[in-house]
Amino acid sequence: MDFKKVEIIIIKYFSQSANMDDLDVLNKWIESPENQEIFQEYVKTHFAITLAMNEPDIKNIKKALFHEIRKEKKKVRAFRLKSIMKYAAIAIVFLGIGILLQKNIFSNSTDKETIVPKKDEITLKLGNGNIKIIAADGTSKVYDANGKVVGKQNGKDLVYSGNGASTKLVYNTLSIPNGKRFNITLSDGTLVHLNSGSSITFPVQFLKNSIRKVFLSGEAYFEVAHDKKNAFVVNANKLDVQVYGTKFNVNNYPEDQATDVVLVEGSVSMSQSGPITKNKNEFFLTPGYKGTFNKQDKKITNEKVNTSLYTSWMTGNLVFRNESFENIIQKLERHYNVIIINNNKSLANETFNATIETDHESIEQVFNYFKKVYQINYSIVENKIIIN
């Protein structure tokens, strides 16, 4: 990407004139660790010039910063009334609450409330019904009914060998609890990244000259091994996603009203679940588009999107763009494995923009951010987050 173009966007960002497309380009560019360091230098320089050039007192710096934040918040509210895009450029890091949180700019030393996320285990249900516990940072082996090793785990990766000539489908189910992510390589070489609160049911060994079909609940990113002779199908409840050699993301949590398929590379089709026939009505996606299957009326629509926003969870980022607070809460519960109770119902349909680094920011830091920036009050009671 042309750095001059990026530099112009950064200047627009700090001058609060960046639009939605500009911010999406910046978000994509900043995914590179090298670019993050460059951007952090811009942030430090801007912060020093605007807030702390000649001010050694951190209290005054924080006071000035929060004053700017409140000013921007008022602008955002005004934009909402005019139904204009809701971006809050608050002159701090776009990717994070991260940098300033790590420097404790938003922390309050008098706030001792803490919450301890639940620690559930990753499980693998074998063909005989037995349940195997998978330690996220461990090593283990998976055996078939004959005692043969069919899979090996190394840390967050479980790899099925694909050796042998099976004549009968035997299914395993890998379940990832809230608060964790995990990867699995299927016997054909297909790589699947599983998000928090997701499960996949798959054959230990795909059969020759047969459709490769797996069943997904939750969210996963697929890198499907190319095989012209044997189609690959992801069943997402009432939706079948048929693959023609590709990389794509499927979001199919049970509580959601729709199933989203985001195509990054290659080609996929979407259709109501059922037998694959020549006359089956397929809706094809092209790279850069998101297909949405409405679970109620069974209709499929599509729109062009920035695919990185929908795949950022694999690197530990939650990206919200004009997202309702109700949906944000659902995702935070899933990614941090905590319980959040919203008693402020007027907030449910309010929309917000944020990028959260879940691997580096605690749930307390996230809610402290919402409290400081958006004046959302909360308390922690019996290990639950209560929004007042």
Asked, for residue 111, whether it belongs to a domain, the answer is: no
CA torsion sign for 34, 310, 305, 93 is: negative
Domain boundary among 309, 339, 370: 309
Total domain count, the chain: 3
* Same domain assignment for residues 55 and 202: no
User: Residue 16: what pLDDT?
Assistant: 60
pLDDT in tens, 323-338: 899 999 999 999 999 9
Tokens, residue 137: 């940072």
pLDDT in tens, 60-113: 555 554 554 444 444 333 333 222 223 333 333 333 334 344 444 444 444 456
Question: Which runs of consecutive H residues, i.e. helices, occur in 179-307?
Answer: none
pLDDT in tens, 204-240: 999 988 999 999 999 999 999 998 889 999 999 999 9
Q: Which residues contact 369 (CB under 8 A, 6 or more apart)?
A: 97, 101, 106, 354
Domain boundary among 285, 309, 333: 309
Of residues 119 and 62, more confidence is placed in: 119
Smallest Cα–Cα separation from 217: which of 200, 241, 240, 238? 200
Asked, for residue 26, whether it belongs to a domain, the answer is: yes
Distance separating alpha carbons of residues 388 and 372, to the nearest angstrom: 15
Asked, for residue 109, whether it belongs to a domain, the answer is: no
Q: 150 and 126 in contact (C-beta within 8 Å)?
A: no
> Whole-model pTM?
0.73
* Same domain assignment for residues 37 and 83: yes
Give me the domain span that covers residue 365: 317-387
Distance separating alpha carbons of residues 107 and 361, to the nearest angstrom: 12
Distance separating alpha carbons of residues 98 and 372, to the nearest angstrom: 14
* Same domain assignment for residues 139 and 262: yes
User: Residue 17: what pLDDT?
Assistant: 67
- CATH code of residue 260: 2.60.120.1440
* Same domain assignment for residues 327 and 302: no
pLDDT bin (cut points 50, 70, 90) of residue 283 is very high
